[in-house]
């Protein structure tokens, strides 16, 4: 990848471009459809533009606030900063901000709409459970998301789904409030317009949901590969992955449910019960077994000099 020493991934780049192109087409069709079904232009512009600005420029702060995370200085977390400094030097990339979230859910995530405001965050639960090599592997995984710019793409991709979800909820409430009210100008009744907005929004939400899930699963495999080759220790990443997933069962359900909305950005998903992902079509991450198999294959390649 240009601008860092993380191994390039053309598959990831192709998928990001394709996802953004498809979402762009879907976005334009969404706006046109909302206009055609009778949504007021002023409200349409306010919702679409307003959500876009808020989502793009505040996504990192929202994620940090929701997870109870705060940026830490080198003096507050010298060992954590030392690992990030070492990895950034190895990857030849600018150092992002470093943050810690005080929760026992063992995880890590990267956020930010560009490299200039990128943040890499780890939880106190992760710091307590992993040794230095495992922590380095997980942080390398998160830094690769920043270097590959897929954090930015996921932030933008998630915007359409948020708007569609918001309009679906508002349309249903509006339809319930207006009930059988009739239009004053022989046009469609307000409730009919609201229900049409709900229908269009629901379809768009479903499509954007599936597109972002497909990209999310691939980018996790790509980050695992990049981290394994950068550190040269895929076994450390595999060990961290196994340890974190094993300990998830011991975390209180309330804490896991609070973290679940950020699954797409986590190193590994927070699950509140067995079988959380009903099918691979809806999962944010590939199966742990697949990730471990990929790391084992990389380990064999590095061991044979391949």
Which residues carry out catalysis?
142
> Could you give phi then psi for residue 97, rounded to 5 degrees?
-70, 150
Check residue 122 and give left, alpha or beta (phi > 0: left; psi -120 to 50: alpha): beta
How many CB atoms are located within 10 Å of the residue 18 CB? 13
Rounded-to-integer distance, Cα 161 and Cα 30, Å? 11
Q: Is the dihedral of CA 125, 136, 243, 281 positive or negative?
A: positive
Residues paired with 69 in a beta bridge: 101
CA gyration radius, the chain: 21
Rounded-to-integer distance, Cα 144 and Cα 149, Å? 8
Contact status, residue 180 vs residue 189, Cβ threshold 8 Å: yes
Contacts for 302-305: CB closer than 8 Å, 24+ residues apart: 302/229, 302/232, 302/234
Residues 6+ away with beta carbon under 8 Å from 126: 106, 107, 108, 135, 138, 244
Rounded-to-integer distance, Cα 81 and Cα 166, Å? 38
């Amino acid at each position: 990848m240009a601008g860092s020493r993380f191994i390039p991934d053309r598959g990831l780049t192709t998928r990001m471009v394709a996802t953004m192109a498809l979402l762009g087409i879907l976005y334009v069709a969404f706006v046109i459809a909302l206009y055609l079904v009778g949504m007021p232009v002023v409200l349409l512009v306010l919702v679409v533009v307003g959500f876009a600005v808020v989502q793009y420029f505040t996504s990192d702060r929202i994620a940090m606030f929701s997870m109870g995370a705060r940026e830490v200085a080198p003096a507050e977390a010298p060992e954590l900063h030392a690992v990030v400094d070492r990895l950034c030097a190895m990857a030849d990339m600018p150092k992002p901000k470093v943050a810690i979230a005080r929760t026992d859910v063992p995880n890590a995530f990267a956020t930010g709409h560009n490299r200039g405001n990128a943040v890499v965050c780890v939880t106190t639960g992760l710091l307590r459970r992993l040794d230095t090599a495992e922590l380095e592997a997980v942080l390398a995984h998160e830094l690769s998301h920043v270097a590959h710019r897929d954090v930015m793409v996921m932030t933008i991709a998630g915007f359409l789904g948020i708007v569609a979800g918001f309009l679906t909820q508002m349309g249903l409430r509006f339809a319930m409030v207006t009930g059988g009210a009739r239009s004053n100008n022989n046009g469609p009744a307000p409730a009919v317009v609201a229900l049409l907005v709900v229908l269009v929004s629901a379809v768009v939400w479903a499509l954007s949901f599936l597109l972002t899930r497909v990209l999310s699963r691939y980018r996790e495999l790509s980050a695992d590969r990049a981290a394994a080759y950068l550190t040269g220790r895929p076994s450390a990443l595999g060990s961290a992955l196994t340890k974190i997933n094993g300990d998830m069962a011991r975390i209180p359900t309330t804490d896991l449910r609070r973290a679940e909305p950020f699954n797409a950005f986590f190193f590994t998903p927070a699950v509140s019960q067995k079988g959380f992902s009903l099918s691979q079509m809806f999962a944010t991450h590939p199966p742990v077994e697949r990730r471990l198999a990929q790391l084992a294959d990389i380990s064999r390649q590095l061991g044979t000099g391949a």
